[in-house]
Amino acid sequence: MPERIILASGSPIRRQLLENAGLTFDVEIARLDEDLIKTSLIAEGVYPRDIADALAEGKARKISLKHPDAMVIGCDQVISFKGQLISKSTSSDDAKRLLEQLQGERHRLLSAVVIYEGGEPKWRHIGEVKMTMRSLSAQYLSEYIDRNWHSVCDAVGCYKLEEEGVRLFSSIEGDYFNVLGLPLIPLLTYLTDRKIIAI
């Protein structure tokens, strides 16, 4: 059994989800050059699903090598739109351009989680959600970004379903936890099967 669990993510919502589920864990942020990794993988023709997995694994592996006695949970989330990877927006203007592209269309949100122990991968899962965005008026889109930019600037897709971002969508097909950035049910099932958490 691992001595402790470490979440290799600085995401407040991932931390909250695990805390709400009753897990005891530490947080240690894995510092990776995600843009460099994404650029390299895109150049190699890697699919967005596998990019999400690779980023989650990179984070878990980095922290696991520092703490070989711990179980390390690495996570990442990307958007696939018309076969292309969508990254986080770097400015409010960039966010408006992205939402203009996504409105009235469907995209796939891919949420990956990888567990490492002793520097080796032990388990992985990629959750997928199909998100259909409403057609938005130019005024609403601009006002939405102005109101929410401080909150969504670090969110892939520039929305958070637990906030006003839920109003952007006409249809969501898939697990809500995947949208929040953590395939929570499969993760808890794995931890239960390993008897790391009790039921």
Burial of 173 (0-12, 13-18, 19+ CB in 10 A): exposed
Strands 84-86 and 70-81: antiparallel
How many Å apart are CA 158 and CA 151, to the nearest integer?
Answer: 9
Going by their DSSP bridges, the two strands 120-133 and 169-173 should be labelled as antiparallel
Q: Look up residue 45 and give its two tokens.
A: 């023709």
Q: Active-site residue numbers? A: 76
